Amino acid sequence: MNNFAHKKQQLYLVLSGIFLVNALLAEIIGVKIFSADKLMGLPGNLTAGVLIWPVVFVTTDIINEYFGKAGVLRISYLTVVLILFAFGVIYLTTKLPPADFWLDVNKTDNLGRPFNIDFAYQSIFRQGLGIITGSIVAFAVGQVLDATIFTALRQATGGRYIWLRATGSTLISQLVDSFVVLYVAFYVFGNWSFDQVISVANTNYWYKFAAAILLTPVLYLAHFLIDKYLGQEETAELQEEAVENVSV
């Protein structure tokens, strides 16, 4: 394997690792809804998962930039499989009979109030099963949409305006993702009203909108560092392959 092929393989491996870990973390922590008002003084509520979804957005665009739509969908499909595996394992752990001493040493909280740790464990992680159903649907649709729009904008602009294809693809794909995941997870499988879904989804989307704009410099920095790592000629060659390889 020549040096460029090795660097190309290493780059895809690192980007895929960042993508996969953050996507999985976002799914797991997404069961918590926090107050944007209490944290930042902004109106509305957000799912905890939105805190790290911007990392997934940026990584998606970087992978698309250098490895094309095929590269994005390859890691997206693998991520879906691994998320399903992770939640399958988590679900099985909720079915394990709790040890008596574990229940006993955790039978009260810090204020001395009665507390059932096994019930809490099941409540948190089984709530995630509804989220995973919605997320898998939203994630799959969102990633395909993001990769397709990114590729179309790159072809339309002749490879110029990185910010346009990155931000444009994210804003459109996340409009779908933000509403679908909450509707399926908390309305179809949960106990939210439709108005609650709309309210939180709206706040989530505008947070992602702002994050996509604010993270544009990060995208350019990553572009600069990767170009330096691969080399100018090799980078041009890799990006040309990404543009040509748009069908999967």
For residues 190-195, give the mean pLDDT: 83
Mean model confidence pLDDT for the chain: 82
141-189 per-position pLDDT tens digit: 777 777 788 778 777 777 677 777 777 777 777 777 778 878 887 788 7
Which residue matches tokens 């939105």? 50
Q: So what's the pLDDT on residue 248? A: 42
Q: So what's the pLDDT on residue 49? A: 83
Residue 117 pLDDT level (bands cut at 50, 70, 90): very high
SS3 content of the chain, % helix, strand, coil (to 5): 80, 5, 15
70-92 per-position pLDDT tens digit: 888 899 889 989 988 988 898 89
Half-sphere exposure of residue 159, counting CA atoms within 13 Å on the CB side?
A: 12
* pLDDT at position 246 over 60: no
Q: Which residues contact 155 (CB under 8 A, 6 or more apart)?
A: 243, 246
CA distance 73 to 56: 13
b/e per residue, 69-78, with b = 16+ CB within 10 A? bbbbbbbbee
State whether residue 34 is helix, strand or coil.
Answer: strand
Which residue matches tokens 């008596």? 100
For residues 21-45, give the mean pLDDT: 84
Which range (24-33, 59-68, 227-236) has the least confidence? 227-236
- Output the CA angle 65-69-73, nearest 5 degrees: 120
Residue 247 pLDDT level (bands cut at 50, 70, 90): very low
The count of other CB atoms within 10 Å of the CB of residue 12 is 16
What does the DSSP 8-state code read for residue 31? T
Most confident of 108-122, 188-202, 227-241: 108-122
How big is the chain by its Cα radius of gyration, in Å?
A: 21
